[in-house]
Amino acid sequence: MTFKDFDLHPEVAKGVRIAGFKEPSPIQEEAIPLILEGRDLVGQAHTGTGKTAAFGLPILDRIARGEIERALVITPTRELATQVSDELYHLGRFAGIRTLAVYGGVGYGRQIALIHRGVQIVVATPGRLKDLYQKGKIDVFNPEVVVLDEADEMLDMGFLDDVREIFEYIPQNRQTLLFSATMPEPIKELADTLLYEPEFISVVSGETTKNVDIEQLYYVINESQRDEAIVRLLEQEDYDKALVFCRMKREVDRLAEYLKDLGFNAAGLHGDIDQMERDAIVKSFRRGETRILIATDVAARGLDIKNVTHVFNYHIPFDPQSYVHRIGRTGRAGKHGRAITLASTEEFRELQRIRKEVGADMRLATLEVQGGSVGAEQIEMLSQKLRETALHPLVDQVLAQMAEMDQATFIKKAISYILETEEFDESDRIGYDEEELERLLDDYESSQRQNTSSRKRRRRR
């Protein structure tokens, strides 16, 4: 099948050709004919499978033919609103169809003015859209088609009540489309409430974690090796764009600064960063100007960045679903991706639980360290040694011999000599192999049994 088979309006078809689309993806092949017929639809597909064109092309076609005048797309995040709006603009520009992204963090004025001038497609986040409807600012905008995009993300972010309230302002005589990567019960209930006799289609053949295009590795490390491990991995992996996930905002800030100090092209992203800076960071990463983006789960929601070749879990996520969402950022559109997780010995059992719950095909790996390298832990140990070392009685004589050398050069040369001659207690590998890990777990279980037995004896006394 090709896009010609849909018989789209000539000006919309031109946008498809210019975009380089050849054959429709599975979600596009199934969804476009149903939407063109005016049917309500629930579509289950992961991000990166062509959902925007799946609902966007039939909407653009119906506007171009005069069947409808306006459409509304509701997305969970500002970034996704901008991406969807841009894609619909490029597909519909030859038909003269205007789009607008509406989100918070910026002034109302321009958004309201453009809606009143007759923008045909509004792509909006729930909070700003509800606010505009509540205040009566956009009563003129009555969409005939409404799309809920990434509905499960809206559930995770607590937007479902806002969405229900928005639909109180929207005409009942409408076509409603709902797209979601997963179908938890609240999303099914929302579909039952808002959609009329919808068609259900799914192109999800299993969890994202079973995607053959994503190679999943994990390293079991000592906590003190975490920074050294992420640095070694970034040095050795052949990545185009890499997402590094941290649990906490402060971890994002610290790791971003640490990597930048080491010369990596990295930036951090979390909820405390203001909108203008956030937009600049995301745009730089999307263009490939920034190659490493360090982010929290919340900050990365709604990000749809092409050519993310690697996802690194600096810490394991809080829950299995977060793991699914994290690694789903790579291995898209038939491209190969790698998801690499660092877990300390204390976190290993939690990682096993996540692995079992989501059915992840994860492989234990170890990281070979190049001979003669010195890690952050060794440098800190050396620095501490230097602070505690008493002055040698011959130090003044050595300084006198080196009088012709400036102080900074002398210090650098002295430290270089120490680094060359010091014997560091350094392993040539990061991460436990299967045999070592099994022995470690046996020791842990034995220790737990002994502790339990001791507690029982104390209680009997």
Which H/E stretch holds residue 430? Answer: strand 429-430
- Distance CA(247)–CA(256), nearest Å, equals 13
Task: Extract the tokens encoding 223.
Answer: 């906590």
Cβ-proximal residues to 347 (8 Å cutoff; 6+ apart), any chain: 315, 316
Q: Cβ atoms within 10 A of the Cβ of 97, count?
A: 21
Residue-wise pLDDT tens digits, 258-312: 999 999 999 999 878 887 888 899 999 999 999 999 998 877 766 778 889 999 9
Chain centre distance of CA 208: 13
Q: Is the pLDDT reported for residue 143 higher than 50?
A: yes
- Mean pLDDT, to the nearest integer, of 361-370? 80
Question: What is the chain's mean pLDDT, rounded?
Answer: 85
Q: What is the share, in percent, of the chain residues with pLDDT greater than 70?
A: 88
Q: Which residues pair with 242 in a beta bridge?
A: 292, 310
Question: Which amino acid makes up residue 5?
Answer: D
Q: Which residues pair with 294 in a beta bridge?
A: 244, 268
Q: Which residues pair with 215 in a beta bridge?
A: 338
> pLDDT class for 427, splitting at 50, 70, 90?
low
More confident residue, 5 or 444: 5
Q: Is the pLDDT reported for residue 373 higher than 60?
A: no
> Cα-flanking dihedrals φ and ψ of residue 119, to 5°?
-55, 135
3-state helix, strand, coil split of the chain in percent (to 5) is: 50, 15, 35
CB 228 within 8 Å of CB 74: no
Q: Is the pLDDT reported for residue 230 higher than 80?
A: yes
> Cα-flanking dihedrals φ and ψ of residue 232, to 5°?
-60, -40
pLDDT of residue 457: 62
pLDDT of residue 445: 62
Q: Is the pLDDT reported for residue 371 higher than 70?
A: no
Q: How far apart are the first and last CA of the chain?
A: 79
pLDDT of residue 452: 56
pLDDT of residue 208: 38
Q: Which segment, 59-73, 188-202, 275-289, is predicted with the most confidence on average?
A: 59-73
Task: Extract the tokens encoding 24.
Answer: 């429709």
CA atoms within 13 A on the CB side of 99: 24
Q: Is the pLDDT reported for residue 340 higher than 90?
A: yes
More confident residue, 423 or 409: 409
pLDDT of residue 387: 81
Q: Is the pLDDT reported for residue 207 higher than 70?
A: no
Residue-wise pLDDT tens digits, 17-65: 988 888 888 899 999 999 999 999 999 887 667 889 999 999 999 999 9
pLDDT of residue 392: 84
Q: What is the share, in percent, of the chain residues with pLDDT greater than 90?
A: 46
pLDDT of residue 425: 47
Q: Is the pLDDT reported for residue 256 higher than 90?
A: yes
Listed residue (152, 145, 147, 157) closest to 189, CA to CA:
152
Q: Which of 74-78, 99-103, 356-360, 431-435 has the lowest mean pLDDT?
A: 356-360
- Mean pLDDT, to the nearest integer, of 199-220? 72
pLDDT of residue 424: 52
- Mean pLDDT, to the nearest integer, of 226-250? 92
- Distance CA(106)–CA(276), nearest Å, equals 9
Residue-wise pLDDT tens digits, 82-134: 889 999 999 999 999 999 999 988 888 999 999 999 999 999 999 999 999 99
